[in-house]
Structure 1
Amino acid sequence: MPDLPSRYALLCVGNSMMGDDGAGPRLAELCAERPLPGWTVVDGGAAPENDIGFLRELRPQHLVIVDATDMGLAPGEMRIINEEDIGEMFMMTTHNLPLTFLIQQLRDDIPDITFVGIQPDVVAFYYPMSAVVEQAVRHLHQRLPALETGLGIALYAAGDA
């Protein structure tokens, strides 16, 4: 009998040594402390492209990607960003490859992909994560089980900033 695909996967992206850019890895830690039933969590760190093969094999029905994203909002604000907008906006990134490349590589194997950006406050080496971003990460952890009915996070629009 073949393995059934995981229903949901969470790809947490970021560098935990760079203050609020560690939002994704912090979410992965929180999921390890308090697992989400039905979810496979991947801490992609600063090189999420290294997890493309694993995610393709996993073939979840829905993938949520979380990363600190400079959207010009108040620190800790979260938005769902359309795939088309990711390439057009300036994405503060510490990653080797653009997230648009990552999503394109996964698109054929994963039907639904949602990108959640968390507005950072300070992104600098050896800075701690700010309290507002930590709070946003905790809020997102609580909301993920409600993915099917909506995360309660607004869609990013260029006029938000």
Structure 2
Amino acid sequence: MTNVLLCVGNSMMGDDGAGPLLAELCLATPQGDWVVIDGGTAPENDVVAIRELRPQRLLIVDATDMGLNPGEIRLVNPDDIAEMFMMTTHNMPLNYLVDQLKDDIGEVIFLGIQPDIVGFYYPMTDAVKEAVNTVYQRLANWQGEGGFERLEVPVFV
């Protein structure tokens, strides 16, 4: 079974570099059975490569403004991404990427890390570095949803 870890973000923009930092850690010292792709700010460019791998599981990790405390980690239902107003610094919204892949992949998991400061040339905050390390540590023995909480999305009637 192939698992793909798609790390998304811009390492030149403070906490938005959470994904690239995770990719760097995984490439230096792999954790578990993951094929690691650093999608940077244009993860849609990796759709063909991901499809060719035919993964059973795709884990997408990105700094995501979810209205939480900096460094908090949540699983976000991929179907909710388009309906939520989520800050993005990427070329295309991530729901576009998920829509392109969800029919070809057994399981798509979107894991968001709440950023604090996102701006050019800002350093990554300690809270986000700690969150990246938490995700990195859990990759080795990943089961189900990795032990992370789901983001509660408000329902508007």
Equivalent position to 1:55, from 50, 56, 78: 50
CA distance in structure 1 between the aligned counterparts of 2:86 and 2:36, rounded to whole angstroms: 23
Q: Give unpaired runs (5+ residues) of structure 2.
A: none
| Larger helix proportion of the pair | 1
1:56, distance to aligned residue in structure 2 (A): 0.4
- Aligned partners of 2:59, 2:111: CA distance in 1, in Å? 7
Between the aligned residues of both structures, percent identity stands at 59
Normalized against structure 2, the TM-score is what? 0.94
- The gaps in structure 1 that reach 5 residues or longer are 1-5
Residue number among 76, 79, 98 corresponding to 2:71 in the alignment? 76
CA deviation digits over 1:35-56, x for unaligned, max 9? 1232100000000000000000
Secondary structure of the 1:40 match is: strand
TM-score (normalised: structure 1): 0.92
RMSD, matched Cα: 1.1
> After the TM superposition, which parts of structure 1 deviate over 3 Å for at least 4 consecutive aligned residues?
none
Q: The residue matched to 1:44 in structure 2 has which SS?
A: strand
Which string of whole-angstrom CA distances, capped at 9 and with x for unpartnered residues, describes residues 101-142 of structure 1?
101111121110000000000000000100010000001001
Q: Secondary structure at the match of 1:89?
A: coil
Aligned residues: 154
Candidates 104, 109, 112, aligned match of 1:117? 112
- Equivalent-residue separation in structure 1 for 2:49 and 2:115 (angstroms): 28
